Amino acid sequence: MPVRVAVLDDVDEITAMMHEHADFEGAGALCHFNREGAAAAMFGADVTLRALIATPPNEAAVTAGVALWYPTFSSWSGSTGIWLEDIFVRPAFRGEGLGREFLEELRGLTAGRVEWDVQDKNADAQAFYRRLGANPVPGWTRYRWTL
């Protein structure tokens, strides 16, 4: 399935998929992702978020999935990397290798590491990532300070 860099015209679909993703994770009420914020973060004066979009072959008007990411830097390895913020494949397109395609595309964008979080309760995602050769990082616990 073709994976490409998102353009401004994709923002409405990206917004819809982030809300679908939050609903899937049982956190729909917590999702404040919106078109204006996304457009500013991805295409404004200070780009902080990037996206990959997947569309089925010969169906450019249909969006099958999205991967939101941003560049990182590791002081210990001395190299850049990628933080995968969200990956979401719409249910109709799951099982077709799209998650793998997204991750391979991201891997090709950096010589450093690609990192992401997985919710503890998402056993299917954890199994999928392990099949790809990714593993949890032992000895680290992610903390979050929110306002």
- Note the pLDDT tens digit of each residue in 60-73: 788 999 999 999 99
Residue 138 belongs to some domain of the structure:
no
- CATH code, domain with 124: 3.40.630.30
SS3 state at 67? strand
C-alpha–C-alpha distance, residues 89 and 146, integer Å:
28
Instruction: Name the token pair of 24.
Output: 């899937």
pLDDT score for 143: 81
Residue 140 belongs to some domain of the structure:
no
Residue 119 belongs to some domain of the structure:
yes
Residue 122 belongs to some domain of the structure:
yes
pLDDT score for 147: 62
Residue 139 belongs to some domain of the structure:
no
Per-residue pLDDT, averaged over 120-129, amounts to 89
Could you tell me the residue range of the domain that residue 111 belongs to? Answer: 3-131
When divided into structural domains, the chain yields a total of 1
Q: What is the DSSP code (8-state) at residue 6? A: -
Residue 125 belongs to some domain of the structure:
yes
Residue 141 belongs to some domain of the structure:
no
Within 38-146, strands assigned E span: 50-54, 65-74, 79-89, 114-116
- Note the pLDDT tens digit of each residue in 3-16: 999 999 999 999 99
Residue 137 belongs to some domain of the structure:
no
